[in-house]
Amino acid sequence: MTEQEIKIKYRHYPSVDELPADEKLLCQEAEKALETSHSPYSKFRVGTAVKLKSGRIIYGSNQENVAYPSGLCAERVALFMAGSSYPGDDIVAMAITAHTDLFELKTPVTSCGACLQVMAEYEKKQGTPFSILFYSLGKDVIKAEGVKSLLPFMFYENGLEKR
């Protein structure tokens, strides 16, 4: 038996204003995506902005359904939109933010495991990692370079690829 240790690396910015201008703008774009959230059940709105290599911004917001779990997270909405509408236009970065009127969100909300796995698929597909920004509205930001630091045991099975 051996014991292993996994360390992750990320950056914490106490304020969105400390980010480089392009990343601050992407966080602001994620805020805009909150407006299209359909979250009448949880009242928990999530918005995502994905920046593509071409400079194009793709938006996603969570879409709930009374027949839970038929809804979809904001991250997957945006990633699937980018992949289906702009194949070959690599993802450079994505910003995720959330808001609810029910309580105060004091720290950035991070993505669920399913969304992280989809991020991993897109990184694998394009052959390069992308920046992930978790933004707490008007407050701090957590920045990770690539999903591997967030999901170290992501599922990759090369045997499933076409031969």
The CATH number of whichever domain residue 99 belongs to comes to: 3.40.140.10
Stated pTM of the model: 0.93
**Catalytic annotation, residues:** 75
In a domain, 82, yes or no: yes
Domain count, the chain: 1
CA distances (Å), origin 110, targets 75, 84, 87, 122: 10, 24, 26, 18
In a domain, 54, yes or no: yes
In a domain, 6, yes or no: no
pLDDT of residue 163: 59
CA atoms within 13 A on the CB side of 126: 22
pLDDT of residue 125: 94
> Mean pLDDT of all residues in the chain?
94
pLDDT-based confidence at residue 153 (cuts at 50, 70, 90): confident
pLDDT of residue 162: 66
pLDDT of residue 123: 95
In a domain, 5, yes or no: no
Range of the domain at 74: 11-147
Rounded CA gap, 50 and 91, in Å?
7
In a domain, 161, yes or no: no
pLDDT-based confidence at residue 44 (cuts at 50, 70, 90): very high
